Amino acid sequence: MNELSARSLQVSLGGRLVLRDVSCTFKKGWTAVVGPNGAGKSTLLRALAGLQPRAAGSVCLDGRDIAAFNPGERARRIAWLAQQAEVTGELTARETVHLGRLPHLGLFGSPTAADETIVDAAMNSTECHGWQCRRLHELSGGERQRVMLARALATQAPILLLDEPTTHLDPPHQVALARLFRRLADTHTVVSVLHDLTLALHADRILVMRVGAVQACGKHDDPALHQALVATFDGAVRIDNRGARPMAVPHLED
């Protein structure tokens, strides 16, 4: 099933309500979460991953409260990618991706040949095999982001919660990542926060957020979704429907 849902979810940070009564369900497929800065997108992903204490409401994985899962079981079902990778220590790219096997190996297990194969596959899919022996702090932002994504993929979790995975990536790698998400969407539940609205419009579903609430949720060709996008971004974008897929275009005219 791999269905992740939030019901009347409220999250408070520093006394301020960051998520207000959010209800949404994520099923197999690729969902892009969009919205202006401070809309609560990252907080929603953290709450869905079970990393954020809730003020009210529930988050359920296949109908069971996320808090009822033990940490290892939860990590085998849900992989989470941070908005910005924290980098201390001396790990190489490969050693970092290897950490994705932790939920399966536990603290005391040793990696097998199968784990190495999975790590190789994850690194190949984000094209970071070429610098597997370089240390994280030696990589550029984009290279590091691809390593971190490979780390998330190496968990082999059926649900991927990815907070701005395209940050720091050049256009070819953004496109390559979008293709990867589309492939994964056949078998995985992929939820990604994106700022590139045109890229987001290639997702199966788009969830629009503003000031801690869901404004709209729909498919790329849904006119109501287009209206919600324009309104949410205060008319700073317009949706161009002339191509095969709609495009978000900056609205520069006064």
Is there binding between residue 73 and another protein (CB under 8 A)?
A: yes
Nearer to another protein, 86 or 253 (CB): 86
Is there binding between residue 43 and another protein (CB under 8 A)?
A: no
Of these, 133, 186, 242, 252, which contacts another protein (CB under 8 A)?
133
Nearer to another protein, 116 or 234 (CB): 116
The three-class DSSP label of residue 78 is strand
Strand order across the 16-26 sheet: 16-26, 4-13, 56-61, 64-65
Q: Phi and psi at residue 83, in whole multiples of 5°?
A: -60, -45
Is there binding between residue 253 and another protein (CB under 8 A)?
A: no
Nearer to another protein, 96 or 192 (CB): 96
Half-sphere exposure of 167 (CA within 13 A, CB side): 17
Asked if 212 contacts 232 with a C-beta cutoff of 8 angstroms, the reply is: no
**Cα–chain center distance at 18:** 18
Is there binding between residue 30 and another protein (CB under 8 A)?
A: no
Report in angstroms how near the CB of residue 57 gets to another protein at its nearest.
20
Is there binding between residue 92 and another protein (CB under 8 A)?
A: yes
Asked if 43 contacts 21 with a C-beta cutoff of 8 angstroms, the reply is: no
Residue type, 169: L
Residues 69, 72, 77, 81: what is their CA dihedral angle, to the nearest 10 degrees? Answer: 110
Nearer to another protein, 20 or 101 (CB): 101
Of these, 72, 156, 220, 230, which contacts another protein (CB under 8 A)?
72
Is there binding between residue 146 and another protein (CB under 8 A)?
A: yes
Is there binding between residue 54 and another protein (CB under 8 A)?
A: no
Report in angstroms how near the CB of residue 69 gets to another protein at its nearest.
10
Asked if 7 contacts 58 with a C-beta cutoff of 8 angstroms, the reply is: yes
- Give just the sign of the alpha carbon dihedral 114, 119, 122, 124: negative
| The residue to which tokens 């490979």 are assigned | 150
Report in angstroms how near the CB of residue 180 gets to another protein at its nearest.
5
Is there binding between residue 103 and another protein (CB under 8 A)?
A: yes
Alpha carbon distances (Å) from 190 to 105, 143, 180: 24, 21, 10
Of these, 115, 127, 204, 222, which contacts another protein (CB under 8 A)?
127
Per CB under 8 A, residues contacting another protein are 46, 49, 51, 71-76, 78-80, 82, 85-92, 95-96, 99-100, 102-103, 107-108, 125-128, 130-135, 138, 143, 146, 148, 151, 155, 172-173, 175-177, 179-180
